[in-house]
Amino acid sequence: MPHASNHPASQGAAAGHPGTQNGTRGSTAAFGHRSRRRSAFVRYPMRAPRRPSCVPEAFLLFEFACQLALAFTTLSAARVLVRVAAFAASLALLVALRPGRRAHPAQGPAFWIVLIVALSIFHPSTNGWLAGAAQASLYIAIVGPLFWVPRLRVDAQTLRRVLLIVWTFQTVNAGVGVLQVYFPGHLQPNLSAAVASVGDAYVKDLHLATPDGRWIFRPMGLSDVPGGAAMAGLYAVLLGMGFFLSRRALWIRLACVTSMSLGIFCIYLSQVRSLLAVLVVSGIAFGAVLVWRGQKMQSIVLSVMLATLVMSGFHYAASIGGADIGSRLAAITDHPEEMYLQERGHFLIETIQDALPKYPLGAGLGRWGMTNHYFGDNTNSESAPLWVEIQWTGWLFDGGVPLILAYVIALAVTLRATLKIALSHDRSGLWPWAAMLFGYDMGAIANTFAYPVFIGQSGLEFWLFNALLWSAADAARRPRSMLRLKP
């Protein structure tokens, strides 16, 4: 005989109590108010987050592949196409990616840059429609990352991967430059046709004398320009400092010190003295941000390490490169003002005193640089080629005072945005990279007084890095919601 339970629920089930299956309606009446209250918020399965875009990494790898093709392959007629391929890719992304709601703070002045150079195509002294359109397209491609990077889904990991790719490539680049000095004639890239066309006297100045009396090109690294490995050395040092600050693993920090040593040594061997000044400016700005954040110990460690590498690198480079390196670099510490005026300062003075009154609204597009070399028509004396050694002269020729003002505002807004991220205390972990990029930005601006930075690959990378940093910080600020309100 079955045992009858004394539990009320069991008794209710046998008697048809309202709280049983036979009394479902009563159960709903008794507990319906709780069910209705709980149904107001429904926990939906959270969608798997979309993976960050790999476009920035692919873009950089494509850019570096084009650089290697120019340096180590015989391309003949296709050389022009490879030279412009990375900039064409930036233009393609600008057109292909759908505009979003997010916008980098410097997009406003960047738009004015685009508008000014577009109108400069119609300048009476523009060197033909082809050269003018090519120069304007080059400007648009270089500032393009400010527009197309915010349209991508990127995060802090995307920025780290991009910087890791750059650091690895540029460290290898600087290492190859050092090997080119140790083993002359080996690993030697092709010489840029634009450099060779300037003349034998100019090309001769791009050589250095070894202690055994041989004359060799300044280290090219993985580029086709003598002395081009110096820029790779600068990247190796700055990014090495960033990874040293953000990673505590011993092997990573040893790799950082090795990379920085190669970079400084390569800068010395390349005899590009302006980049030593840029390195000092970048290091000071980087350290100042660390002090501002209260990271005084990290600032002291990086400063001591950088100073040690700079001094030891000088003595070692002088022993390898001979007295020529020592004498050229000694001028930086002995008479820096006279050295700058003699080497680059007179170009700035000529720009202010001579070119500015003559070309307040620009001199027309396509009259200098690679654009004139590849696309220019120099048969017309009204649009004859112009010589540019510093960025300020190039801006003046291409768009006059309006272009200079627009670019200065874009740089100032970018610096402010980068500094704001560097001084933030959020949990995104971006501040070390923002501090490093602030130093990098200050160095790039200082370099405009010695080199046309924003008219080539270095300018494209400047805007790419800063756009990635801002986009990653913007993504970190936007919260994710797991609950949705159901009416």
The reported pLDDT for the residue numbered 212 is: 67
**What is the secondary structure of 66-127 as a DSSP string?**
HHHHHHHS--GGGHHHHHHHHHHHHHHHHHHSPP-S---TTHHHHHHHHHHHHHHTT-TT-S
The reported pLDDT for the residue numbered 312 is: 86
Alpha carbon of residue 351 to chain centroid: 28
User: Smallest Cα–Cα separation from 363: which of 393, 406, 339?
Assistant: 393
Q: Divide the 487 residues of the chain into consecutive groups of 10 and give the mean pLDDT of each group.
A: 43 41 43 44 50 91 92 75 93 91 92 97 93 96 96 93 96 92 81 75 76 78 88 94 88 93 90 88 94 91 90 81 67 72 89 96 93 87 90 97 98 97 85 95 96 94 97 82 37
- How far apart, in whole angstroms, are the C-alpha atoms of residue 475 and residue 469? 10
The reported pLDDT for the residue numbered 330 is: 66
**Long-range contact pairs involving 348-353 (C-beta distance under 8 Å, separation at least 24):** 348/390, 348/392, 348/393, 348/449, 350/393, 351/390, 351/392, 351/393, 351/396
| Radius of gyration, alpha carbons of the chain | 30
The reported pLDDT for the residue numbered 192 is: 77
The reported pLDDT for the residue numbered 464 is: 97
- For the chain, give every domain's residue range: 55-475
Per the CB < 8 A criterion, the answer to whether 328 and 370 are in contact is no
